[in-house]
């Protein structure tokens, strides 16, 4: 007798974990607020989300951890990244590139940790031109680490006016773009984790690319 559909074994949706990494140590920075808003988009797509606070890790500079075992702070940081299926990285644009604190944090990881993970990018600039240089550098870093850098990216200009005092995007369109970025990271992380490679590649090709606006 053929088992009924209700008796067929089900394949529960795997849990997806998305973490955010903001390249600013200020709790009230526009970069941290932007990453937090993108994480809300990932959470709305069903992912478990967490904002990793670089200031709480007290990471050493690259090279200071070369004598013997890595410091506990580095191991904790790497473990938090390793447990994630996707990572949303945001950086202020400083002198035309990513912040030093973020670059050092990324220098402490190896390619195996990022291999196959979904990566969403946010660049934040104080001027009107946006953070295109920072996004370009972050995308190159992501490719070097063998991550899947999702097509959607967000460049934020005039950062001191981008969020209100409550941390809400001053422009609803900015909020929509940040939420869309987080949702895309969570969506592709789920497809990748489910090993639905055909659907993954089809949707990836349809997603295309954008200029970060």
Give the whole-angstrom CA distance, residue 87 versus residue 27: 19
**How do the domains of the chain map onto residue ranges?**
13-207
Give the whole-angstrom CA distance, residue 93 versus residue 155: 10
What angle (nearest 5°) sits at the alpha carbon of residue 190, between those of residues 189 and 196? Answer: 105
Average pLDDT along the chain, 213 residues, taken 10 residues at a time: 46 85 93 96 96 92 66 92 97 95 94 93 92 96 94 93 90 95 94 71 69 52
Please say whether the dihedral angle defined by the alpha carbons of residues 159, 165, 167 and 171, taken in this order, is positive or negative: negative
Q: Please state the length of the chain.
A: 213
**CATH assignment of 13-207, given 3.40.47.10, 3.40.50.360, 1.10.600.10, 3.30.200.20?**
3.40.50.360
CA 114 from chain centre, in angstroms, equals 11
Residue 4's pLDDT is: 46
Quick one: which of 66, 40, 15, 199 has its CA closest to 120? 40
């Amino acid at each position: 007798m053929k088992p009924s559909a209700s008796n067929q074994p089900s394949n529960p949706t795997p849990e997806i974990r998305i973490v955010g990494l903001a390249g600013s140590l200020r709790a009230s920075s526009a970069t941290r607020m932007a990453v937090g808003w993108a994480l809300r988009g990932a959470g709305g797509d069903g992912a478990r989300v967490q904002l990793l606070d670089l200031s709480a890790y007290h990471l050493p500079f690259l090279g200071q951890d070369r004598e013997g075992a890595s410091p506990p702070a580095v191991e904790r940081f790497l473990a938090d990244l390793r447990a994630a299926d996707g990572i949303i990285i945001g950086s202020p644009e400083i002198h035309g590139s990513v912040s030093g604190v973020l670059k050092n944090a990324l220098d402490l990881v190896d390619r195996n940790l990022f291999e196959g993970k979904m990566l969403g990018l946010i660049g934040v600039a104080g001027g009107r031109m946006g953070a295109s240089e920072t996004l370009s550098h972050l995308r190159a870093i992501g490719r070097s680490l063998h991550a899947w850098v999702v097509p959607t990216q967000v460049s934020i200009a005039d950062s001191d006016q981008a969020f209100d005092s409550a941390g809400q995007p001053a422009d609803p369109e900015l909020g929509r773009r940040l939420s869309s970025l987080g949702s895309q990271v969570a969506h592709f992380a789920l497809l990748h984790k489910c090993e639905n490679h055909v659907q993954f590649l089809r949707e990836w090709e349809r997603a295309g690319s954008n200029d970060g606006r």
